[in-house]
Chains A and B, each alone.
Chain A
Amino acid sequence: MAIEDREVTVVVNGQERSAAVEPRKLLVHYLRDDLGLTGTHIGCDTSQCGACSIMVNGEAVKSCTMLAVQAEGSEITTVEGLGSIEHLHPMQQSFWEEHGLQCGYCTPGVIMAMLGLLKENPNPSEEEIREGMEGVICRCTGYQFIVSAVQKAAKLMAEAEEQKEETLVANLVREGTHNG
Protein backbone atom coordinates (compact mmCIF):
# COMPACT_ATOMS: atom_id res chain seq x y z
CA MET A 1 0.00 0.00 0.00
CA ALA A 2 1.52 3.29 -1.06
CA ILE A 3 1.14 5.95 1.58
CA GLU A 4 0.62 9.41 0.25
CA ASP A 5 2.33 12.46 1.64
CA ARG A 6 0.05 14.99 3.31
CA GLU A 7 0.06 18.68 2.73
CA VAL A 8 0.62 20.35 6.09
CA THR A 9 -0.02 24.07 6.45
CA VAL A 10 0.91 25.79 9.67
CA VAL A 11 1.63 29.35 10.73
CA VAL A 12 5.18 29.35 12.07
CA ASN A 13 6.38 32.49 13.82
CA GLY A 14 3.67 34.49 12.08
CA GLN A 15 4.35 33.16 8.61
CA GLU A 16 2.21 30.62 6.78
CA ARG A 17 4.27 27.61 5.69
CA SER A 18 3.25 24.55 3.70
CA ALA A 19 4.99 21.32 2.82
CA ALA A 20 4.05 17.81 1.78
CA VAL A 21 5.10 15.42 4.52
CA GLU A 22 5.04 11.72 5.24
CA PRO A 23 2.49 10.97 8.00
CA ARG A 24 5.27 9.52 10.14
CA LYS A 25 7.36 12.70 10.11
CA LEU A 26 7.75 14.17 13.57
CA LEU A 27 6.94 17.84 13.96
CA VAL A 28 10.48 18.56 15.13
CA HIS A 29 11.88 17.12 11.90
CA TYR A 30 9.39 19.13 9.85
CA LEU A 31 10.56 22.32 11.57
CA ARG A 32 14.25 21.55 11.33
CA ASP A 33 14.57 19.71 8.02
CA ASP A 34 11.72 21.10 5.91
CA LEU A 35 11.56 24.66 7.24
CA GLY A 36 15.21 25.02 8.22
CA LEU A 37 14.34 26.19 11.73
CA THR A 38 17.18 24.48 13.54
CA GLY A 39 16.81 26.46 16.76
CA THR A 40 14.56 23.68 18.04
CA HIS A 41 16.80 20.85 19.24
CA ILE A 42 16.49 17.10 19.71
CA GLY A 43 18.07 15.78 22.87
CA CYS A 44 16.54 12.36 23.43
CA ASP A 45 14.45 9.52 22.04
CA THR A 46 12.22 9.16 25.06
CA SER A 47 10.18 12.39 25.16
CA GLN A 48 11.91 13.42 28.37
CA CYS A 49 14.52 16.11 27.75
CA GLY A 50 12.32 18.93 26.46
CA ALA A 51 15.01 20.38 24.16
CA CYS A 52 12.42 20.22 21.38
CA SER A 53 9.78 22.28 23.23
CA ILE A 54 7.87 24.81 21.14
CA MET A 55 4.53 26.59 21.41
CA VAL A 56 1.58 25.10 19.58
CA ASN A 57 -1.52 27.29 19.77
CA GLY A 58 -0.02 29.05 22.77
CA GLU A 59 0.85 25.92 24.76
CA ALA A 60 4.30 24.44 25.37
CA VAL A 61 4.60 21.10 23.62
CA LYS A 62 7.40 18.62 22.92
CA SER A 63 7.69 18.67 19.14
CA CYS A 64 9.38 15.25 19.10
CA THR A 65 6.19 13.73 20.46
CA MET A 66 3.86 15.16 17.90
CA LEU A 67 3.50 14.30 14.23
CA ALA A 68 3.70 17.11 11.71
CA VAL A 69 0.31 16.01 10.37
CA GLN A 70 -1.19 16.50 13.84
CA ALA A 71 -0.12 20.14 13.69
CA GLU A 72 -2.15 20.91 10.54
CA GLY A 73 -3.79 24.32 10.88
CA SER A 74 -2.07 25.29 14.11
CA GLU A 75 -0.04 28.31 15.12
CA ILE A 76 3.51 27.53 16.09
CA THR A 77 6.15 29.61 17.79
CA THR A 78 9.75 28.45 17.90
CA VAL A 79 12.69 30.17 19.54
CA GLU A 80 13.40 31.92 16.23
CA GLY A 81 10.07 33.71 16.59
CA LEU A 82 10.89 35.39 19.90
CA GLY A 83 13.39 38.16 19.36
CA SER A 84 16.34 39.23 17.25
CA ILE A 85 19.95 39.92 18.21
CA GLU A 86 19.12 43.65 18.27
CA HIS A 87 15.86 43.21 20.16
CA LEU A 88 16.03 40.20 22.44
CA HIS A 89 12.82 38.91 23.97
CA PRO A 90 12.82 39.61 27.74
CA MET A 91 13.23 35.88 28.34
CA GLN A 92 16.31 35.77 26.08
CA GLN A 93 17.65 38.95 27.64
CA SER A 94 17.29 37.42 31.11
CA PHE A 95 18.99 34.16 30.14
CA TRP A 96 21.89 36.24 28.86
CA GLU A 97 22.15 38.52 31.88
CA GLU A 98 21.63 35.81 34.49
CA HIS A 99 23.87 33.23 32.79
CA GLY A 100 20.94 30.87 32.32
CA LEU A 101 22.92 28.79 29.85
CA GLN A 102 26.31 27.22 29.34
CA CYS A 103 26.49 24.99 26.28
CA GLY A 104 23.06 26.23 25.21
CA TYR A 105 21.81 22.92 23.87
CA CYS A 106 18.77 22.82 26.15
CA THR A 107 18.13 26.55 26.05
CA PRO A 108 15.61 26.93 23.20
CA GLY A 109 13.43 24.24 24.75
CA VAL A 110 13.80 25.59 28.27
CA ILE A 111 12.89 29.08 27.07
CA MET A 112 9.75 27.87 25.30
CA ALA A 113 8.67 25.73 28.27
CA MET A 114 9.23 28.65 30.64
CA LEU A 115 7.21 30.97 28.41
CA GLY A 116 4.46 28.36 28.65
CA LEU A 117 4.76 28.51 32.43
CA LEU A 118 4.67 32.33 32.59
CA LYS A 119 1.62 32.40 30.38
CA GLU A 120 -0.25 30.34 32.99
CA ASN A 121 1.39 31.90 35.99
CA PRO A 122 3.02 35.29 35.28
CA ASN A 123 4.52 35.57 38.76
CA PRO A 124 5.72 32.11 39.80
CA SER A 125 7.55 31.31 43.04
CA GLU A 126 10.92 29.59 42.88
CA GLU A 127 9.22 26.30 43.69
CA GLU A 128 6.70 26.79 40.88
CA ILE A 129 9.50 27.54 38.43
CA ARG A 130 11.32 24.36 39.45
CA GLU A 131 8.10 22.39 39.10
CA GLY A 132 7.55 23.96 35.69
CA MET A 133 10.99 22.69 34.66
CA GLU A 134 10.03 19.03 35.18
CA GLY A 135 9.83 18.59 31.42
CA VAL A 136 13.27 19.94 30.54
CA ILE A 137 16.73 18.62 31.28
CA CYS A 138 19.87 20.73 31.44
CA ARG A 139 23.13 18.92 31.95
CA CYS A 140 25.20 22.07 32.46
CA THR A 141 23.75 24.76 34.66
CA GLY A 142 22.47 22.93 37.71
CA TYR A 143 19.25 24.87 37.10
CA GLN A 144 19.89 27.62 39.67
CA PHE A 145 20.78 30.23 37.05
CA ILE A 146 17.82 29.17 34.94
CA VAL A 147 15.57 29.87 37.91
CA SER A 148 17.15 33.32 38.31
CA ALA A 149 16.71 33.99 34.60
CA VAL A 150 13.03 33.05 34.69
CA GLN A 151 12.46 35.20 37.76
CA LYS A 152 14.04 38.13 35.97
CA ALA A 153 12.08 37.47 32.79
CA ALA A 154 8.84 37.40 34.77
CA LYS A 155 9.72 40.80 36.20
CA LEU A 156 10.73 42.31 32.85
CA MET A 157 7.63 40.96 31.17
CA ALA A 158 5.36 42.33 33.91
CA GLU A 159 7.05 45.74 33.58
CA ALA A 160 6.63 45.67 29.81
CA GLU A 161 2.95 44.80 30.30
CA GLU A 162 2.55 47.70 32.73
CA GLN A 163 4.27 50.09 30.38
CA LYS A 164 2.04 48.96 27.56
CA GLU A 165 -1.00 49.71 29.72
CA GLU A 166 0.34 53.10 30.77
CA THR A 167 0.94 54.05 27.14
CA LEU A 168 -2.53 52.85 26.29
CA VAL A 169 -4.08 54.95 29.07
CA ALA A 170 -1.94 57.96 28.11
CA ASN A 171 -3.09 57.59 24.50
CA LEU A 172 -6.71 57.34 25.57
CA VAL A 173 -6.36 60.44 27.76
CA ARG A 174 -4.69 62.31 24.90
CA GLU A 175 -7.40 61.24 22.50
CA GLY A 176 -9.97 62.28 25.09
CA THR A 177 -8.53 65.81 25.30
CA HIS A 178 -8.38 66.04 21.51
CA ASN A 179 -11.98 65.01 21.18
CA GLY A 180 -13.20 67.12 24.10
Chain B
Amino acid sequence: MIPVKFDYIHAESVEQAIRLQQESNGEGKLIAGGHSLLPLMKFRLTEPGVLIDISRISQLKEVRKEGDRIVVGALTTHHAASNDPVIKEHIPLLADTVRQIGDLQVRNRGTIGGNIAHADPAADLPAAAFALDAQVIIQGEDGEETMPVDQFIVGPLITMMPENSIVTAVSFAIPPRHTRSVYLKYFHPASGYPVVGVAAIAGVDESGVIDFVRIGITGVGDIAYRAESVEQTLLGQTPSEAMIQEASRLAAEEGEMGNDFFTSSEYREHLCKVYTERALRSILLAN
Protein backbone atom coordinates (compact mmCIF):
# COMPACT_ATOMS: atom_id res chain seq x y z
CA MET B 1 0.00 0.00 0.00
CA ILE B 2 1.53 3.24 -1.12
CA PRO B 3 0.23 6.71 -0.29
CA VAL B 4 -0.47 9.22 -3.07
CA LYS B 5 2.43 11.54 -3.89
CA PHE B 6 3.25 14.26 -1.43
CA ASP B 7 6.11 16.56 -0.68
CA TYR B 8 8.09 16.34 2.52
CA ILE B 9 9.91 18.96 4.59
CA HIS B 10 11.65 18.96 7.94
CA ALA B 11 10.78 21.65 10.43
CA GLU B 12 13.77 22.52 12.59
CA SER B 13 11.81 24.62 15.07
CA VAL B 14 8.29 25.30 16.31
CA GLU B 15 8.29 28.66 14.50
CA GLN B 16 9.31 26.99 11.25
CA ALA B 17 6.59 24.34 11.65
CA ILE B 18 4.03 27.14 11.86
CA ARG B 19 5.53 29.03 8.93
CA LEU B 20 5.66 25.93 6.71
CA GLN B 21 1.99 25.31 7.43
CA GLN B 22 1.13 28.90 6.46
CA GLU B 23 3.11 28.56 3.23
CA SER B 24 1.45 25.26 2.31
CA ASN B 25 -1.96 26.87 1.70
CA GLY B 26 -3.87 24.27 3.62
CA GLU B 27 -2.03 21.38 1.98
CA GLY B 28 0.43 20.81 4.84
CA LYS B 29 0.09 18.27 7.61
CA LEU B 30 2.37 17.77 10.57
CA ILE B 31 3.87 14.33 11.06
CA ALA B 32 5.34 13.21 14.39
CA GLY B 33 5.57 9.44 14.88
CA GLY B 34 3.35 8.83 11.87
CA HIS B 35 1.62 5.89 13.52
CA SER B 36 -1.85 7.29 13.09
CA LEU B 37 -1.22 9.35 9.97
CA LEU B 38 0.72 6.88 7.78
CA PRO B 39 -1.77 4.01 8.14
CA LEU B 40 -4.50 6.43 6.96
CA MET B 41 -2.33 7.68 4.09
CA LYS B 42 -1.52 4.14 3.01
CA PHE B 43 -5.24 3.53 2.62
CA ARG B 44 -5.55 6.93 0.93
CA LEU B 45 -8.10 7.96 3.52
CA THR B 46 -6.20 11.20 3.82
CA GLU B 47 -4.04 12.81 1.15
CA PRO B 48 -2.00 15.75 2.41
CA GLY B 49 0.07 17.57 -0.21
CA VAL B 50 3.00 18.23 2.09
CA LEU B 51 4.18 16.44 5.19
CA ILE B 52 5.93 18.69 7.67
CA ASP B 53 8.12 16.46 9.82
CA ILE B 54 8.40 17.87 13.34
CA SER B 55 10.11 14.81 14.83
CA ARG B 56 13.52 16.49 15.10
CA ILE B 57 12.48 19.49 17.17
CA SER B 58 14.32 18.31 20.27
CA GLN B 59 12.83 20.89 22.65
CA LEU B 60 9.49 19.09 22.23
CA LYS B 61 10.87 15.91 23.80
CA GLU B 62 11.31 17.32 27.31
CA VAL B 63 9.39 16.24 30.38
CA ARG B 64 9.47 18.60 33.36
CA LYS B 65 7.69 19.49 36.58
CA GLU B 66 6.16 22.95 36.63
CA GLY B 67 4.48 23.77 39.94
CA ASP B 68 1.65 21.30 40.47
CA ARG B 69 1.73 19.99 36.89
CA ILE B 70 3.93 17.75 34.77
CA VAL B 71 4.56 19.14 31.31
CA VAL B 72 5.15 16.40 28.74
CA GLY B 73 6.67 17.53 25.44
CA ALA B 74 4.52 16.65 22.43
CA LEU B 75 7.22 14.48 20.86
CA THR B 76 7.68 12.27 23.93
CA THR B 77 7.09 8.75 22.63
CA HIS B 78 4.76 6.38 24.45
CA HIS B 79 7.80 4.27 25.24
CA ALA B 80 9.77 7.21 26.65
CA ALA B 81 6.77 8.34 28.71
CA SER B 82 6.29 4.89 30.22
CA ASN B 83 9.91 4.92 31.45
CA ASP B 84 10.30 8.56 32.39
CA PRO B 85 11.28 8.95 36.08
CA VAL B 86 9.40 12.26 36.54
CA ILE B 87 6.22 10.79 35.04
CA LYS B 88 6.56 7.58 37.04
CA GLU B 89 7.02 9.50 40.29
CA HIS B 90 4.31 12.15 39.94
CA ILE B 91 1.73 10.85 37.46
CA PRO B 92 2.17 7.05 37.38
CA LEU B 93 -1.31 6.80 35.81
CA LEU B 94 0.13 8.21 32.58
CA ALA B 95 2.96 5.66 32.53
CA ASP B 96 0.46 2.89 33.27
CA THR B 97 -1.77 4.05 30.39
CA VAL B 98 0.79 4.55 27.64
CA ARG B 99 2.44 1.24 28.52
CA GLN B 100 -0.78 -0.40 27.32
CA ILE B 101 -0.95 1.41 23.97
CA GLY B 102 -0.60 -0.77 20.89
CA ASP B 103 2.57 -2.85 20.98
CA LEU B 104 6.30 -2.48 21.58
CA GLN B 105 7.03 -1.21 18.07
CA VAL B 106 4.10 1.22 18.06
CA ARG B 107 5.14 2.64 21.44
CA ASN B 108 8.63 3.30 20.09
CA ARG B 109 7.27 5.63 17.39
CA GLY B 110 3.91 7.03 18.55
CA THR B 111 3.93 10.28 20.50
CA ILE B 112 1.83 11.87 23.25
CA GLY B 113 1.23 14.99 21.15
CA GLY B 114 0.23 12.98 18.08
CA ASN B 115 -2.13 10.82 20.09
CA ILE B 116 -3.95 13.84 21.57
CA ALA B 117 -3.95 15.82 18.30
CA HIS B 118 -5.33 12.85 16.37
CA ALA B 119 -8.27 12.62 18.83
CA ASP B 120 -9.04 9.03 17.95
CA PRO B 121 -12.13 8.08 20.00
CA ALA B 122 -10.58 4.64 20.46
CA ALA B 123 -7.23 5.91 21.78
CA ASP B 124 -6.07 5.08 25.29
CA LEU B 125 -4.45 8.37 26.25
CA PRO B 126 -7.66 10.45 26.57
CA ALA B 127 -8.76 8.37 29.58
CA ALA B 128 -5.66 9.42 31.55
CA ALA B 129 -5.83 12.93 30.10
CA PHE B 130 -9.38 13.39 31.41
CA ALA B 131 -8.54 11.88 34.81
CA LEU B 132 -5.42 14.03 35.17
CA ASP B 133 -7.10 17.31 34.10
CA ALA B 134 -4.79 17.56 31.10
CA GLN B 135 -4.20 20.81 29.28
CA VAL B 136 -3.04 20.97 25.70
CA ILE B 137 -0.42 23.62 25.03
CA ILE B 138 -0.59 25.00 21.51
CA GLN B 139 1.73 27.38 19.72
CA GLY B 140 0.01 29.19 16.88
CA GLU B 141 0.27 32.25 14.66
CA ASP B 142 -0.77 34.50 17.54
CA GLY B 143 1.36 32.96 20.27
CA GLU B 144 0.75 30.32 22.89
CA GLU B 145 -2.60 29.09 24.06
CA THR B 146 -3.64 26.49 26.63
CA MET B 147 -6.82 24.42 26.30
CA PRO B 148 -8.26 21.91 28.77
CA VAL B 149 -8.48 18.52 27.07
CA ASP B 150 -12.29 18.44 27.25
CA GLN B 151 -12.39 21.66 25.23
CA PHE B 152 -9.63 20.57 22.86
CA ILE B 153 -11.17 17.26 21.77
CA VAL B 154 -14.68 17.97 20.54
CA GLY B 155 -15.55 14.91 18.47
CA PRO B 156 -14.14 11.80 16.81
CA LEU B 157 -10.89 12.94 15.14
CA ILE B 158 -12.05 16.54 15.68
CA THR B 159 -10.17 19.09 17.79
CA MET B 160 -10.19 22.84 18.33
CA MET B 161 -6.63 23.08 16.95
CA PRO B 162 -6.41 26.52 15.32
CA GLU B 163 -5.13 26.63 11.74
CA ASN B 164 -1.35 26.65 11.30
CA SER B 165 -0.51 25.66 14.85
CA ILE B 166 1.30 22.92 16.69
CA VAL B 167 0.80 21.15 19.99
CA THR B 168 4.04 21.72 21.89
CA ALA B 169 3.16 19.85 25.08
CA VAL B 170 0.43 18.29 27.16
CA SER B 171 0.43 19.08 30.86
CA PHE B 172 -1.11 16.88 33.55
CA ALA B 173 -2.15 17.81 37.10
CA ILE B 174 -0.25 15.96 39.81
CA PRO B 175 -2.84 14.18 41.96
CA PRO B 176 -2.53 14.39 45.78
CA ARG B 177 0.28 12.26 47.22
CA HIS B 178 -1.98 9.87 49.11
CA THR B 179 -3.94 8.76 46.04
CA ARG B 180 -3.47 5.62 43.98
CA SER B 181 -4.29 5.09 40.34
CA VAL B 182 -4.77 2.48 37.66
CA TYR B 183 -5.61 2.16 33.96
CA LEU B 184 -7.67 -0.87 33.01
CA LYS B 185 -8.47 -1.68 29.43
CA TYR B 186 -10.59 -4.23 27.64
CA PHE B 187 -8.92 -4.31 24.27
CA HIS B 188 -10.29 -5.23 20.91
CA PRO B 189 -8.70 -8.62 20.20
CA ALA B 190 -7.67 -7.70 16.65
CA SER B 191 -6.70 -4.03 16.85
CA GLY B 192 -5.50 -3.81 20.45
CA TYR B 193 -7.34 -0.50 20.84
CA PRO B 194 -9.60 -0.20 23.89
CA VAL B 195 -13.26 -1.15 23.58
CA VAL B 196 -13.33 0.44 27.00
CA GLY B 197 -10.46 2.01 28.92
CA VAL B 198 -10.91 3.29 32.47
CA ALA B 199 -8.34 5.51 34.13
CA ALA B 200 -9.03 5.99 37.82
CA ILE B 201 -7.39 7.90 40.65
CA ALA B 202 -8.67 7.82 44.22
CA GLY B 203 -7.55 8.33 47.78
CA VAL B 204 -8.94 8.35 51.31
CA ASP B 205 -8.14 10.94 53.99
CA GLU B 206 -7.01 10.21 57.55
CA SER B 207 -10.55 9.63 58.76
CA GLY B 208 -10.99 6.93 56.11
CA VAL B 209 -13.34 8.67 53.69
CA ILE B 210 -12.73 9.19 49.99
CA ASP B 211 -11.51 12.76 49.53
CA PHE B 212 -10.23 12.61 45.94
CA VAL B 213 -11.48 10.70 42.95
CA ARG B 214 -11.14 11.15 39.19
CA ILE B 215 -12.32 8.78 36.50
CA GLY B 216 -11.67 9.12 32.77
CA ILE B 217 -13.25 6.71 30.31
CA THR B 218 -12.30 6.18 26.67
CA GLY B 219 -13.15 3.89 23.78
CA VAL B 220 -16.87 3.47 24.34
CA GLY B 221 -18.18 6.29 22.18
CA ASP B 222 -17.25 9.23 19.98
CA ILE B 223 -15.41 11.02 22.74
CA ALA B 224 -13.77 10.28 26.08
CA TYR B 225 -15.35 11.70 29.23
CA ARG B 226 -15.05 12.09 32.97
CA ALA B 227 -17.45 9.90 34.91
CA GLU B 228 -18.49 12.70 37.27
CA SER B 229 -21.56 10.93 38.63
CA VAL B 230 -19.37 8.10 39.88
CA GLU B 231 -16.95 10.62 41.39
CA GLN B 232 -19.75 12.54 43.16
CA THR B 233 -21.26 9.35 44.56
CA LEU B 234 -17.96 8.25 46.04
CA LEU B 235 -16.74 11.54 47.53
CA GLY B 236 -17.08 11.60 51.30
CA GLN B 237 -17.87 7.88 51.52
CA THR B 238 -15.98 5.07 53.18
CA PRO B 239 -14.75 2.65 50.53
CA SER B 240 -16.57 -0.67 50.48
CA GLU B 241 -17.52 -3.25 47.89
CA ALA B 242 -21.17 -2.18 48.07
CA MET B 243 -20.27 1.49 47.68
CA ILE B 244 -18.07 0.79 44.66
CA GLN B 245 -20.78 -1.26 42.99
CA GLU B 246 -23.39 1.39 43.58
CA ALA B 247 -21.19 4.18 42.21
CA SER B 248 -19.96 2.18 39.22
CA ARG B 249 -23.54 1.73 38.05
CA LEU B 250 -23.30 5.36 36.94
CA ALA B 251 -20.13 4.86 34.88
CA ALA B 252 -21.89 5.32 31.53
CA GLU B 253 -23.96 8.32 32.70
CA GLU B 254 -21.89 11.06 31.04
CA GLY B 255 -20.84 9.02 28.02
CA GLU B 256 -22.62 8.29 24.79
CA MET B 257 -22.17 4.60 24.11
CA GLY B 258 -21.29 3.70 20.54
CA ASN B 259 -23.08 0.97 18.66
CA ASP B 260 -21.23 -0.92 15.93
CA PHE B 261 -20.71 -4.33 14.43
CA PHE B 262 -18.28 -5.23 17.19
CA THR B 263 -20.27 -4.24 20.27
CA SER B 264 -23.76 -3.01 21.02
CA SER B 265 -24.22 0.09 23.17
CA GLU B 266 -25.73 -2.07 25.93
CA TYR B 267 -22.58 -4.16 26.03
CA ARG B 268 -20.35 -1.08 26.10
CA GLU B 269 -22.38 0.31 28.98
CA HIS B 270 -21.95 -2.97 30.80
CA LEU B 271 -18.19 -2.95 30.17
CA CYS B 272 -17.96 0.62 31.46
CA LYS B 273 -19.50 -0.40 34.75
CA VAL B 274 -17.48 -3.57 35.12
CA TYR B 275 -14.15 -1.89 34.34
CA THR B 276 -14.90 1.08 36.60
CA GLU B 277 -15.74 -1.35 39.38
CA ARG B 278 -12.52 -3.30 38.87
CA ALA B 279 -10.43 -0.15 38.72
CA LEU B 280 -11.93 1.27 41.90
CA ARG B 281 -11.65 -2.04 43.71
CA SER B 282 -7.98 -2.33 42.87
CA ILE B 283 -7.12 1.14 44.18
CA LEU B 284 -9.54 1.46 47.11
CA LEU B 285 -9.87 -2.07 48.48
CA ALA B 286 -6.63 -3.87 47.64
CA ASN B 287 -3.69 -3.35 49.96
Contacts from A to B (Cβ < 8 Å): 1, 3, 6, 22-26, 29, 45-48, 50, 53, 59-62, 65-67, 69-70, 113, 116-117, 132, 134-136
Other-chain contact of B104, A23, A26, A117 (Cβ < 8 Å) = A117
Whether B104 lies near A65 (C-beta < 8 A) is no
Give the number of residue pairs across the A-B interface with Cβ within 8 Å.
Answer: 80
Q: Which partner residue on chain A sits nearest B99 by CB separation?
A: A131
Q: What B residues does A23 contact at CB under 8 A?
A: 5-8, 51
Q: What A residues does B7 contact at CB under 8 A?
A: 1, 3, 23
Q: What A residues does B42 contact at CB under 8 A?
A: 26, 45
Measured between alpha carbons, how far is A61 from B35 in the docked complex, in Å? 11
Given known pairs A45-B1, A50-B103, the reply for A66 and B34 (CB within 8 Å) is: yes
Q: At the interface, yes or no: B248 with Cβ under 8 Å from chain A?
A: no
Q: Mark B78-110, 1 if CB is under 8 A from A, else 0.
A: 010000000000000000000000111110110
Whether B1 lies near A50 (C-beta < 8 A) is no
Whether B2 lies near A26 (C-beta < 8 A) is yes
Contacts from B to A (Cβ < 8 Å): 1-8, 31, 34-35, 38-39, 42-43, 49, 51, 53, 55, 79, 102-106, 108-109, 190-192
Q: What B residues does A47 contact at CB under 8 A?
A: 35, 38-39, 106
Within the complex, what minimum Cβ distance (angstroms) separates A27 from chain B? 10
Whether B102 lies near A3 (C-beta < 8 A) is no
Whether B55 lies near A134 (C-beta < 8 A) is no
Q: What A residues does B31 contact at CB under 8 A?
A: 70
Enumerate the 4 nearest inter-chain pairs by beta-carbon distance, A residue then B residue, closest first. Answer: A135-B103, A23-B8, A134-B103, A59-B108
Measured between alpha carbons, how far is A65 from B43 in the docked complex, in Å? 12
Q: What B residues does A1 contact at CB under 8 A?
A: 7, 49
Given known pairs A3-B7, A24-B4, A134-B104, the reply for A65 and B39 (CB within 8 Å) is: yes
Whether A65 lies near B35 (C-beta < 8 A) is yes
Q: What A residues does B102 contact at CB under 8 A?
A: 134-135
Given known pairs A45-B42, A46-B39, the reply for A65 and B109 (CB within 8 Å) is: yes
11 contacts between A and B (CB under 8 A): A1-B49, A25-B2, A26-B42, A46-B39, A50-B103, A59-B108, A60-B104, A62-B106, A113-B105, A116-B108, A135-B105
Measured between alpha carbons, how far is A61 from B5 in the docked complex, in Å? 23
Whether B105 lies near A67 (C-beta < 8 A) is no
Whether B109 lies near A66 (C-beta < 8 A) is yes
Measured between alpha carbons, how far is A127 from B42 in the docked complex, in Å? 33
Whether B109 lies near A67 (C-beta < 8 A) is no
Measured between alpha carbons, how far is A67 from B31 in the docked complex, in Å? 11
Q: What B residues does A69 contact at CB under 8 A?
A: 8, 53
Most chain-B CB neighbours within 10 Å: which of A48, A116, A117, A136? A48
Q: Which partner residue on chain B sits nearest A52 by CB separation?
A: B105
Whether B34 lies near A67 (C-beta < 8 A) is yes
Within the complex, what minimum Cβ distance (angstroms) separates B251 from chain A? 27
Q: What B residues does A116 contact at CB under 8 A?
A: 104-105, 108
Whether B38 lies near A66 (C-beta < 8 A) is yes
Whether A67 lies near B8 (C-beta < 8 A) is yes
Whether A70 lies near B55 (C-beta < 8 A) is yes
Whether A65 lies near B38 (C-beta < 8 A) is yes
Told that A3-B6, A69-B53 touch, could you supply 19 new A-B pairs with CB distance under 8 A? Answer: A6-B8, A22-B5, A23-B5, A23-B7, A23-B8, A24-B2, A24-B4, A26-B2, A26-B42, A47-B35, A47-B38, A47-B106, A62-B109, A65-B38, A65-B109, A67-B38, A70-B34, A116-B104, A134-B103
